[in-house]
Amino acid sequence: MQDALPRANPALAAALTVLASALVAGTTLLAKALGQDSLGPALHPFQITFGRFAFALIALLCAAAVVRARLMPTNLPMHGLRVALGFTGVTLMFAAAARIPLADATAISFLNPVFGMIAAVLFLRETSGPWRWGAACVALIGAMILLRPTGAAVELGALLALGAAVALGLELAVIKTLSRSNGAFQVLIASNTIGTAFAVIAVLGVWSAPTPAQWAALAGIGALMISAQACFINAVMRADASFTAPFWYATLIFAALYDLVIFGVRPDAVSLIGITVILAGGLTLAWREGRAARTL
């Protein structure tokens, strides 16, 4: 007999999503500390990504042993593609966090649903109306503002964050395909197992011995990421995904707060304008998705 699904509880779902957003912002905070010299000599982004996948996998395997979950996923080639995209996105995001304000990097990374929508149209033959395309264009304009283009160049950290958004958006399209044949736990196990293997290979040429504080931060990134995923899974079990989606934008608030308190970084006028434009596009897209879901 299957366990009963949790009762609908929008207030709890919103609180869990906000908590998840605080945890995700915490991973970028730790990545920034590791990518600079706050906890010791700066670590290469590949080392930070290794910590994210390896320690997340350890936590998942411990959970699997407790709940005796089925581990073997199906469609391994698609899992490999998903991990390659996720690995690229996470590494670029961690590299960006070390170079630009956390709020800027986080805002640009929130373009991933836009790129996911584009990938779904191109590869999964989904349809998108003028509202979706309009919201996507608004969000992209916000990203262009945060790129701070000049006659000579654009901000490197912002370009890295934009690359992360593209990779993570493509990953969303692959996850849609995987969700048709795999449960959430199998997707997490497969992604973190293959991701750890990728990370081990990538980190071999750049490895440097972390300090004890850096080891703790690497473990913290993995633990925070898994905890955030668990919070979000529990949130969407208690409310529609379209309801919880706007609460994810609290990540921007936490990222800016962490950056201010820990690193003393204040967002400038360009950052505030770009973030506001991306928020307008993202929230419009989330609102439209919610209305579309209610009409089905």
Q: What is the pLDDT of residues 70-104, one digit of tens each?
A: 666 667 788 889 889 989 999 999 999 999 899 89
Under 8 Å between Cβ of 227 and 23: yes
In whole angstroms, what is the distance from residue 266 CA to residue 188 CA?
35
Nearest to 90 by CA among 135, 50, 119: 50
Are residues 222 and 53 in contact, defined by beta-carbon separation less than 8 angstroms? yes
**Longest pairwise C-alpha distance within the chain:** 65
pTM to 2 decimal places: 0.82
Q: Beta-carbon neighbour count of residue 208 at 10 Å?
A: 13
- Mean pLDDT for 246-268 is 87
Question: Does residue 7 sit in helix, strand or coil?
Answer: coil
Residue (of 269, 262, 233, 232) closest to 247 by Cα position: 232
Q: What is the pLDDT of residue 292?
A: 59
pLDDT grade for 125, boundaries at 50, 70 and 90: confident
**3 pLDDT more than 50:** no
Answer for the pair 242, 289: CB distance below 8 angstroms, yes or no.
Answer: yes
**What is the mean pLDDT of the segment spanning 120-133?**
76
* pLDDT attached to residue 270: 86
Whether the pLDDT of residue 59 is over 80: the answer is yes
* Block residue for tokens 């990518």: 35
For the chain, how many residues are written?
Answer: 296
Q: What pLDDT digit, counting tens, does each position of 198-212 carry? A: 999 999 999 999 999
What mean pLDDT is predicted for residues 114-119?
82
Taking a C-beta distance cutoff of 8 angstroms, is the pair 73, 79 a contact?
yes
For 212-230, how does the pLDDT look when each residue is reduced to its tens digit (9 = 90+)? 999 999 999 999 998 888 8
- Domain residue spans of the chain: 10-295
pLDDT at 176: 73
